Amino acid sequence: MPKSEKVALITGASSGIGKSLSRKLCENGYHCILAARSEEKLQHLAESIRDDGHECSAIIADVGDESSVDALFEQSSKIGTVSLVVNNAGLGIFSKIEESTVEDWDAQINVNLRGSFLVSRKYIPEMQKQKSGTLVFMNSVAGNFGYPYSAAYVASKFGLRGLSESLRNELRKDNIKVISVHPGAIDTAFWDDINVDFPREEMLSPEMIANSVVHAIEAPGATVIENLTIRRVAGDF
């Protein structure tokens, strides 16, 4: 059992926002369960966090695969009762609609939307028993606006917004907080293979997002920041 009474699960933890969020939550006293598909990146992050004197566990998982999510839940249950789930795993593939493939569509819906459904469904019953808990859905400004050349990505994020809103209203009676986060462009490896015409150095940093998200998570008592849009002051590119 972890020394900390606060146990958090972060999917897509091995890089980008997930990596920064994992570090920040550990600094705030959580035992973080880091989940991702990349074993090498995950283990490297876990070792780095432990070297800094914090608690964490690493579990290889594919959120789009139901059996993998089942295994993730079984392993995490042996660590402790998860009171915070951060659905962060995400995938973006951008192209003109006529050049989009069914495989690209399925991959984005599978990770971005189906994965959050599978993970949340698995952890909600324990939160209901405890009459407390927090679900965080790392969405995007694309969950509020239909950007071009990203039909599948936008559809998955609009769906994720609908999922979070439905769960929020369903779980109010159980004292479970549901937070939907909609960041603008963030300078992560997400953009490495994407041809963009705006400077990455003007994007938000993962650390900025992590600080804002943890602030929302730590909202006291019965208060909850339900929808959090985070942009640079100058707005979208």
For 167-225, the DSSP string reads HHHHHGGGTEEEEEEEE--B-SGGGTTS--SS-GGGSBPHHHHHHHHHHHHT--TT---
Give the Cα separation of 93 and 111 in Å (integer).
12
Cα 108 to Cα 64: distance, rounded to the nearest angstrom: 10
| Residue 153 annotated as catalytic | yes
Residues 6+ away with beta carbon under 8 Å from 200 = 187, 191
Chain center to CA of 9: 9
Q: Name the catalytic one among 30, 123, 147, 153.
A: 153
Residues marked as catalytic: 153
